[in-house]
Amino acid sequence: MQNIAPIALFVYNRPDHTRRTISYLQQNLLADESRLYVFCDAAKTDADKPKVEQVRQLANDVSGFKSVKVIVREHNLGLAESIISGVTQLVYEYGKVIVFEDDLLSSPYTLQYFNDALAKYANQEQVMHIGAYMYNLHDKTLPETFFYRAATSWGWATWARAWKNFEPDVDKLINQFDNLKIARFSIEGKMNFWKQIEQFKAGKNNSWAIRWYASIFLKNGLTLNPSQSLIQNIGHDGTGVHSNNEDMYHVQMARKQVTQFPDVLQENEQAYKAIKHFLANRKGTLLQRVRRFVKQQMGR
C-alpha cells in the first residue's frame, strides 16, 4: 500500500495505559510502514510531573514504526487544544491522519482498516470521518462497515479536505441548529450530544469531539464505522480526565480484516436503528444503574 497515513498519538500522564496502547499499535499490520507522532502534553500541576516524565521517557523508547517523532509541549495545552493543533499540523503536512489517545487498544487490523478507508473515500466530500470504535450492538446482521451521522472519537481518521470544516466556535455552531436538527443530532434524544454542546458553551467541558461531530453534522457529512469494534477503550477505569469508572462501552474487538466498504453514500438505516436501540438501553435497569453509581462512588 502506498502513502500510508501518519498516526497521531496524544498522551499525558498515564504510563501504563500509554504502554499498552503502543504495544497494541506495534502489533498492527502496517505499523512498520507508518509514521508515528507522539504528542506529549506538559504537566498541569506539580503532582502530575513525575508521571508526565515517565510517559515522555516511554515515548522516546518507542520502536516498530517507520519513524517515531516525539513532540514535547512546553506548556499544558489540555486535551482539546492538543488534539486540534496536532491534527491540524499533520493533515496540513500529509493530507490525512489517524488519531489515537493514550487509552485505546487496537485490533491487528485497525491501521489497515483506516488506510483502506482513507484511500477508498479520499475524494468523497460527504465522507468526513472514519471511526474504529463501535458499541456492542445487538443486531448481528449489519454489514461489516456502514455510514452513520455521529462521529466517534475513540480511534478515528480524517482528511485535510474534511478537517478544514472543523468549527471551534461553539456559538457559530449553535446558531445553525433548530429544534429538528437538535433532535436528529441527538439521535432522537437517545444520546446527550446537544447537552454536551450546551455544557461546552457553559464552560463545563472542553470537548473538541462534540464540536467536530457538530461540524460534520451541519455539513450533512457521513462517518464510516465498523459493525464490530476495532478499538477497546481502557480509559473507563477512573483514571481519565474525561471518563468515569464504567463498563457499558466494553466491547469484544474484531480479530479479522475488514474487507467490505459501502459504495452508496448514505446513512445505513438498519445501523442507525441498532445504535439508537443500544443508546436507549445502555444504562440498563434501575437496579443496574444504582449498582453502577455505587461502584463509581466507591472508586473515587
Tens of pLDDT, residue by residue over 51-110, are: 999 999 999 999 999 999 999 999 999 999 999 999 999 999 999 999 999 999 999 999
- Mean pLDDT, residues 196-211: 97
- The answer to whether 245 and 295 are in contact (CB under 8 A) is yes
Cα separation, 174 vs 242, in Å, equals 23
* Strand-pair partners of 252: none
pLDDT at 240: 47
Give the integer Cα–Cα distance in Å for 7 and 280. 33
For 268, list phi and psi in degrees, rounded to 5: -80, 115
**Domain enclosing residue 294, as ranges:** 7-299
Q: What is the pLDDT of residue 200?
A: 97
245 pLDDT band, cuts 50/70/90, is very low
Convert 252-265 to b/e letters by CB count within 10 Å (16 or more is b): ebbeeebeebbeee
In a domain, 292, yes or no: yes
- Look at residue 282 in the predicted model and tell me its pLDDT: 87
How many CA atoms lie less than 13 Å away from 88 in the CB half-sphere? 13
Query: Domain with 33 in it: what CATH number?
Result: 3.90.550.10
Q: Is residue 117 part of a domain?
A: yes
- Cell 477508498 locates to 120
Supply the pLDDT for residue 243: 43
Q: Distance between CA 162 and CA 170 in Å, rounded?
A: 18
C-alpha cell recorded at residue 28: 498492527
CB 149 within 8 A of CB 214: no
Residue 284: count other Cβ atoms within 10 Å of its Cβ.
12
Per-residue pLDDT at 18 exceeds 80: yes
| pLDDT for 294 beyond 90 | no
User: Taking residues 175-184, what's their average pLDDT?
Assistant: 98
- Residue 103 maps to a domain: yes
Would residue 1 count as lying in a domain?
Answer: no
Q: How many helices (H) and strands (E) does the chain have?
A: 11, 10
pTM: 0.92
Question: pLDDT-derived band of residue 300, with 50, 70 and 90 as boundaries?
Answer: low
2 belongs to a structural domain: no
265 located within any domain: yes
Q: Which three cell numbers stand for residue 197?
A: 454542546
Beta strand residue intervals within the chain, DSSP E? 7-11, 35-40, 67-72, 96-101, 104-106, 127-131, 145-148, 156-159, 222-226, 231-233
| For range 112-133, the mean pLDDT | 98
Answer yes or no: are the C-beta atoms of 132 and 154 closer than 8 Å.
Answer: yes
pLDDT value at position 239?
54
**Percentage of residues of the chain with pLDDT beyond 70:** 90
User: Confidence class of residue 285 from pLDDT cuts 50, 70 and 90?
Assistant: low
The tally of domains found in the chain comes to: 1
Handedness of CA 148, 249, 18, 33 (dihedral sign): negative
42-46 long-range contacts, Cβ below 8 Å, gap at least 24?
42/72, 42/73, 42/74, 42/75, 42/76, 42/77, 43/13, 43/76, 44/76, 44/78
Residue 47 carries which DSSP code?
G
User: Could you read off the pLDDT of 49-65 as tens digits, one per residue?
Assistant: 999 999 999 999 999 99
Distance CA 286, CA 255 (A): 34
